Chains A and B, each alone.
Chain A
Amino acid sequence: MKDLVNRYGLLLTTVFAVLTGFWVLVLVVLPNIYLFEHSFRPYLPVAELRGPKDVYSLDNYLTFFRSPIHISVFVWTVVYSALVTVICFLIAYPLAYYLSKVSARALLPTIFLLLFIPLWVSEVLRSFAWFIILALKGPLNASLLGLGIIEDPVRWISGFRGVIIGLVYTYVLFMLFPLYNAIQSLDTNQIEAAEDLGAPWWRTHWRVILPHAKPGIASGSVMVFMLSAGSILVPTLLASTNSRWFTEIIQQWMFESQDWNTGSAYAFLLLILCTVFVSVVMRVFRVKLSDIAK
């Protein structure tokens, strides 16, 4: 804090501190506390608010556990978010390795720029673009048909396929950058030492590069998984008739049923259960929280 005062002067420091405080408190903490409080209260007509029925209970949370459909939607959301995470890893790892250890230094700024450009377009537009690309009579099918790779057009947006493609596309960079940083920090001599001792490329990756990149893999995976599970836009826009995402149920509670109480309870359940899931997976892969924070 003293540092900041020295560098920016008292006035500017105070302004920064107040703005940051406002942002954290008013825009993040308070709304969450508000929702959290509401999630324990029943959904009542306005007249009965603060009335005798307005007591705290776990009813809203139990609604979820009493609904097999909601539970199954939740399970599928977790399963497909995990799948998205795995696919993102499979795409990002070779790319991160290539960028950090193989490609010429001089090319990096250009490659990163190209990777970033799609991020400048809004997520809505990007999802719509995929909606068009994946459409039954869209360009993807047209080119595959034209190249003779498929004989009949593929219904891409069926089941969770569209959602998965959209989520992978949207979040793959959140996997790429932590992986790039992690692999970048590995001493190239270690890779060479492994090869010099006779290791084929895959063993070098398995025994030397992957273990070193583990914290990066973990933080990338946590980000992609949490963002995917909590995504609402992509699952809505690229949904098919039989792909329901858990966030859509939260949205239904809040905006269709106008029941913000149950909606908030569901939102917190999503957060809690996903956190539990992530902790279990981290335990299985022996990743510590301190690794990720590095």
Chain B
Amino acid sequence: MSAGVDLDNVCADFGTFRAVDHVAVNIRPGEFFSFLGPSGCGKTTILRMISGFIPPSRGVIRIGGRDMKGQRPNQRPTALIFQNLALFPLMPVWENIAFGLEVRGVDRHKRRARAEELLQLVDLPDAADKAIAQLSGGQKQRVAIARALAVEPQVMLLDEPLSALDLKLRQHMRAELRAIQKRTGVTFIYITHDQGEALAMSDRVGVMSQGKLQQVADPREIYNNPANGFVASFVGENNIFTGDIQGAEGDLARFATASGTFTARLGPAVTQGMKARLFLRPEHVRLAPAAASANSIPVEVTDVAFEGNFISIHARDAGGQVLLAEARNDGATAVPAPGERLHFTFDGQNAVILTGDTAARDADE
């Protein structure tokens, strides 16, 4: 069984600091929903409010349509997987998993049987009697998931559960989590600052910045039609140009920048006179030997990095702005060499003009 979660203009205050600011979203039953945002934007705080550890200072939280006000964490149909997992190190694996059943007065025999069933589900069949300290990171992860599933929650809350794992395991666990969610049909609310994770796993993503929800949409929509500069720059790579909107040209707008005047789509609710930026994904850039009639910048290639499935190209225009392009590593695309002089061109339909601050990229990404 699963339940939807409604956040109705929820706020959280720590003293005078507002960590979560009027967040409103309806998460559907059985949905895999991710909150994506940089460190400190209030993701954990939202999760702790849903699970009942902190009361919202304003707004209403409903689970399965029921107002959760005054309900303690042990009375809510949610199960939280902590950022550090918080397994009980003094209990063997199976007692960890069966803890929620022990609390509910299920007898020892049935508890053990259920724990073994869940261990099957998370693909750890022989671990029942192991100590927590004997498990690897990925195995602990699975035990934490099994422990949460054991109480048959209607909503699973996951706080960056994969952040401690190495890349390979992380990718494996992504698929695993997604599969478990599909199999159990439980609503998953997932928190991450890793955009790849959010886009790959979720039905819908809510992008957050400084306590505010910036956009809620499915992953494609988030990537292809970001609502503002923050979402565009936080999710995926961009070429960003600052400039002024100068009027329409067909269904596109003219945008004057230091590198030239370009055409691009207008983002939602963006009008002339607003402080705006132009965003262009590197995969929509072509590097051609000849100039195009529009949206063309002469550049010099400065750096070519081989990334495996694609090649990342850094170039510089006359004004010194660094521009990014990508070439697919399919053998057919010509790969330029550093020092080569080319023309950086793009289709105005693939560029978008947006308002709002851009995200400061984490140093580790």
Contact = CB atoms under 8 A, between A and B. Distances in A.
Given A197-B103, A197-B151, A198-B104, A211 B73 contact: no
Contact of B80 (A193, A200, A208): A193
Given A192-B73, A203-B103, A197 B79 contact: yes
A54 interface: no
Interface in A17-52: none
Interface string A175-188: 00000000000010
A103 interface: no
Contacts of A190: 86, 88
Sorted from nearest, which 8 A-B pairs have the closest CB atoms?
A189-B86, A197-B100, A193-B86, A198-B103, A199-B103, A196-B73, A198-B74, A189-B82
B44 to A, nearest CB: 11
Contacts of A187: 84, 86
A205 to B, nearest CB: 13
Contacts of A70: none
Nearest to B72: A195
A193 B74 contact: no
Question: Interface residues of B toward A: which range?
Answer: 20 to 34
Interface string B61-87: 000000000001110001110111011
A187 B82 CA distance: 11
B45 interface: no
Interface in A184-229: 187, 189-190, 192-200, 203, 207-208, 211-212
B187 interface: no
Nearest to A208: B88
21 contacts: A187-B84, A189-B83, A189-B86, A190-B88, A193-B80, A195-B73, A196-B51, A196-B79, A196-B80, A197-B74, A197-B99, A197-B103, A197-B148, A197-B151, A198-B74, A198-B100, A199-B103, A203-B102, A203-B103, A207-B91, A211-B90
Contacts of A197: 74, 79, 99-100, 103, 147-148, 151
Nearest to A193: B86
B90 A212 contact: yes
A192 B82 contact: yes
A213 B78 CA distance: 28
B86 A192 contact: yes
Contacts of A211: 90
Interface residues of A, number: 17
B306 interface: no
B227 to A, nearest CB: 33
B99 A194 contact: yes
B73 A189 contact: no
Given A192-B86, A197-B74, A200-B103, 5 more contacts: A192-B82, A196-B74, A198-B104, A207-B99, A212-B90
Interface of B: 51, 53, 72-74, 78-80, 82-84, 86-88, 90-91, 99-100, 102-104, 147-148, 151
Contacts of A193: 80, 82, 86-88
B91 to A, nearest CB: 8
A244 to B, nearest CB: 42
A199 B79 CA distance: 12
Interface in A64-117: none
Contacts of A212: 90
A156 to B, nearest CB: 42
B86 A198 contact: no
Contacts of B72: 195
Contacts of A196: 51, 53, 73-74, 78-80
A195 B88 CA distance: 13
Contacts of B87: 193
B302 to A, nearest CB: 47
A199 B104 CA distance: 8
B74 A199 contact: yes
A52 B100 CA distance: 75
A198 B79 CA distance: 9
A75 B51 CA distance: 53
A226 B25 CA distance: 61
Nearest to A203: B103
A192 B83 CA distance: 12
A212 B132 CA distance: 14
A68 to B, nearest CB: 45
A192 B53 contact: yes
A164 B88 CA distance: 37
A12 to B, nearest CB: 43
B148 to A, nearest CB: 8
Contacts of A208: 88
A203 B73 CA distance: 14
A200 to B, nearest CB: 7
Contacts of B99: 194, 197, 199, 207
Contacts of B83: 189
Contacts of B53: 192, 196
Contacts of B91: 207
A194 B78 CA distance: 13
A211 B95 CA distance: 14
A7 B151 CA distance: 57
Contacts of A194: 88, 99
A187 B90 CA distance: 13
B151 A198 contact: yes
A195 B71 CA distance: 12
A189 B80 CA distance: 11
A12 B109 CA distance: 65
Given A196-B51, A196-B79, A199-B99, A189 B84 contact: yes
B88 A200 contact: no
A72 to B, nearest CB: 40
A195 to B, nearest CB: 5
Contacts of A203: 102-103
A199 B96 CA distance: 13
A61 to B, nearest CB: 42
A196 B72 CA distance: 9
Contacts of B80: 192-193, 196
